[in-house]
Structure 1
Amino acid sequence: MSGPLIVLIGPMGVGKSTVGALLAERLGTAFRDTDADIVVAQGREIADIFLEDGEPVFREFERQAVRTAVAEHDGVLALGGGAILDGSTRALLAAHPVVYLSMDVEEAVKRTGLNHARPLLLVNPRKQWRELMDARRQLYEEVARAVVATDDRTPEEVAEAVLDALELKEA
């Protein structure tokens, strides 16, 4: 099967990029992040796209970025937190080894500070994060082959748990 070796999904701040880079290094492959692809393609930060064009425009950029990355990339791929909201993206991911990195709200607060760079969390960050997760958790679980909790684990421990969950061996 062509396509990514591992696809990481999960909420903002869970560590998809950090863990993804570690996994790529351990597996001797490349790492790619669709949020970074969007920033490069659009020449501006994601928060600016949300502010200037709105969420629907961003989600379309995201859908295209995921489709392109899944078609082109055979290493470790991290998707933006909301990528799984799109039904065609969920269908596309069904054929790939997807791992959902999960965390609870207190861990999210610790890691992200639920800060202003997160455009969906501007008003009441804890409440909005919980609502986002209530809406998305089932979608993350629906497309994931494995769920790896990240709470109280180092990125190295999470990477190890992902490799174990998918029964992958290091390079």
Structure 2
Amino acid sequence: MTTTRPGPVVVLVGPPGAGKSTVARRLSERLGVGFRDTDHDIEQHVGTSVQDVFVDHGEAHFRTLEEQAVARALDEHEGVLALGGGAVLSEATRELLKRHRVVFLDVGLAAGVKRAGVNGNRPLLLGNVRGRLKALMDHRRPLYEEVATYTIVTDTLDAAAVTDRALQLIQEDPA
């Protein structure tokens, strides 16, 4: 895979609880490049939390903001980029991601529930975390796979091991 235009060194995608933000921060430190998270970009842009955007304006409004934030970040950022778990729902975003090196941090249901269930800032997982995460993954897994250059199954790995594996993949393919 070759990057056809400037942009991030690598983009991390995956479901809630996969470790995208944590791994992206660690990876950016190891590579000596900047880190960016599109959920944080959205929060900075609107001046409130992602959860508040969902509650006050609905998911459709959030997805529009997210699509715009991802497009900006892919165009501007040259470090490690973490996308929100639902960013791949946008066909336009998936099309843009085809031009970039993307690592899908995959996580099974049990590990995902354990990790994501403790975070109350995940609006789509409120209530029955296990059932909601399963439905999310059933719907999104094919989309993550569609955009992925590489996949790392994170279930039994800690953040350091996932970072090591991602770094190895990047160094093997210096696109």
The TM-score bracket by the shorter chain reads over 0.9
Q: For the residues of structure 2 that align with 1:28 and 1:91, how far apart are their CA atoms?
A: 28
Of residues 5, 12, 18 in structure 1, which corresponds to 2:9?
5
Aligned: 1:49 with 2:53: yes
- Which residue is 1:105 aligned to? 109
- Which residue is 2:33 aligned to? 29
Q: TM-score, normalised by structure 2?
A: 0.93
- Superposed, 1:72-151 pairs within 5 Å as 72-113=76-117, 115-151=119-155
- Which residue is 2:71 aligned to? 67
State the Cα RMSD in Å. 1.3
Provide, for residues 68-104 of structure 1, a one-character-per-residue CA deviation record: whole Å limited to 9, x for no partner: 0001000000000000000000000001000000111
Moved over 4 A (4+): none
Aligned: 1:152 with 2:121: no
Structure 1 residue 166 displacement after superposition: 2.8
In structure 2, relative to structure 1, the CA distance for the partners of 1:168 and 1:33 (3 Å cut) is farther
SS of the residue aligned with 1:167? helix
Structure 2 contact 12–81 (Cα < 8 Å) conserved: yes
Q: Which 5+ residue runs of structure 1 have no aligned equivalent?
A: none
Q: For the residues of structure 2 that align with 1:124 and 1:113, how far apart are their CA atoms?
A: 9
Structure 2 contact 113–133 (Cα < 8 Å) conserved: no
Structure 1 residue 146 displacement after superposition: 0.2
Structure 1 residue 165 displacement after superposition: 2.2
Q: Which 5+ residue runs of structure 2 have no aligned equivalent?
A: none
Aligned-pair identity (%): 49
Structure 1 residue 114 displacement after superposition: 5.2
Q: For the residues of structure 2 that align with 1:112 and 1:124, how far apart are their CA atoms?
A: 12
Amino acid at match of 2:12: L
Q: For the residues of structure 2 that align with 1:111 and 1:88, how far apart are their CA atoms?
A: 29
Q: For the residues of structure 2 that align with 1:50 and 1:72, how far apart are their CA atoms?
A: 26
